[in-house]
Amino acid sequence: MSTKLPQNPYSYVSHLECSLTGQHYSHDRMRGLSDAGAPLLVRYFLGKISEVISKDTFVQRSPDIWRWREFLPLPLEMEPVSLGEIETPLIAFRELPRVFIKDEGRLPTGSFKARGMAVAVSMAKHFNANGLVVPTAGNAGSAAAAYGAAAGIPTHVYAPIDTPTITLQEIELHGAQCHHVDGLIDRCGQLAGKAASENGLHDLSTLAEPYRLEGKKTIGFELALQFNWSLPNVIYYPTGGGTGFIGMWKAFDELEAIGWIGSRRPRMVSVQTLGCNPIQQAFEAGHDDIMTAFAPVDTIVPGVRVPKPLGGRLILSVLRASGGHACAVSDDATIECRDQIARSEGINLCPEGAACHVAYLSDLETGAVNRDETVVIFNTANGLKWPMPELI
Ligand SMILES: Cc1ncc(COP(=O)(O)O)c(C=O)c1O
């Protein structure tokens, strides 16, 4: 790797790299996929970061995603588009003190999608995008709408018609144009792509531009810091497009490359539901990528309704490298768990978070995880964004 630092505008980014072929691209303009049609990964002059700034400096900064500024692509002199992306808490279960919920529902727009959109929309503004478009299972759309509003950039969202109503309302409340699609996120993606090319909009689809992943990566830094530069034994993550999953792993690699953590990694567990589990199917079949779109999709858990994630190859490689596994739980068990945790722990999990807890309990039974292990379960959104049980 060249050691020449970019001059102006200044960031620690060295280049973009095709995740399939390794081909390098300059980061001097907005880019989508690589020539091979694969996601682009942002690469940094990591050695330079650790030379000029110590671990302690990061610790002393205000606890939000921008404390990791040198590991992010936005040039340092640029003001980010921010709505207050705070560090999210780890909440220990009362009965299981080594099991933590990472509560991402505290972030702007009530979900972890704020992390990716804060960085991607900041970069879109930096590159003078005059319109944004995103396909969504729901939460990415409301985050794009909010950050688009904060950046003053018109935003279009393509969302399945059966997305929770409150999320569709939230998208419109932020002034985005919400296109209700009779189909799933893959159909939304086709329509968003068409709108992008016909109207010159910047396409924020999952992994189709390199910067949402960088925002999501901050979850990995945050975990390392919260566990005192060690990492938990197992992480349960509800997987749709997989940006948080891939992003966390990228963060761990970057931290190891500069010597702030060792080579030990958590076992990464990808959680889906029986009504949409393409990752589990591909993982168990020993495939390197997801070959066919899952059909028919039939689940009430919106975040995992992605029949063929673009980042399938990356997700599967993280699963294997970490010694983790992929699982799928039922919708009924998910909702029962959501209701039970609300009563026993006082935490209103989103269905995606509840699905992760169901997966953890089932792994405890099979012995895939044991009670002595430190576990993080991702609650990726605020439970208030989903319908609650009828009044008694
Ligand atoms: C609440 C929630 N959890 C999980 C996911 C899946 O996230 P990812 O695309 O990073 O796999 C989504 C995506 O829409 C979501 O909204």
Q: Hey, CA dihedral for 347, 352, 356, 362, is it positive or negative?
A: positive
Count CB atoms within 10 A of the CB of residue 177. Answer: 15
DSSP 62: -
- What is residue 95's predicted lDDT score, i.e. its pLDDT? 84
Q: What is the pLDDT of residue 6?
A: 47
Chain mean position to CA 270: 12
Q: Indicate the helix (H) or strand (E) that contains 219.
A: helix 211-226
Check whether domain 113-203 has CATH 3.30.70.270, yes or no: no
Best substitution site from 102, 109, 111 to test ligand 1's pocket, by max atoms within 8 Å of Cβ?
111
The CATH classification number of 90-111+210-385 equals: 3.40.50.1100
Low-confidence ranges of the chain (pLDDT < 50): 1-8
Q: Specify the domain boundaries for CATH 3.40.50.1100 within the chain.
A: 90-111+210-385, 113-203
Residue nearest to atom 5 of ligand 1 (CA): 303
In this structure, which residue's CA is closest to atom 12 in ligand 1? 303
Give the pLDDT score at 2. 39
Distance (angstroms) between ligand 1 centre and the Cα of 303 equals 4
How deeply is 279 buried, as exposed, middle or buried, from its count of CB atoms within 10 A (0-12, 13-18, 19+)? buried
269: three-class secondary structure by DSSP: strand
Looking at ligand 1, which residue's alpha carbon is closest to its atom 4? Answer: 303
Question: If you take atom 2 of ligand 1, which residue's CA is the nearest one?
Answer: 303
Q: How many Å from the N-terminal Cα to the C-terminal Cα in the chain?
A: 63
Tell me the CA–centroid distance for residue 7 and ligand 1, in Å.
36
The CA distance from 32 to 36, in Å, is 11
For the chain, percent of residues with pLDDT exceeding 70? 98
Q: What is the pLDDT of residues 232-285, one digit of tens each?
A: 999 999 999 999 999 999 999 999 999 999 999 999 999 999 999 999 999 999
Give the residue from 332, 389, 328 showing the smallest Cα distance to 363: 328
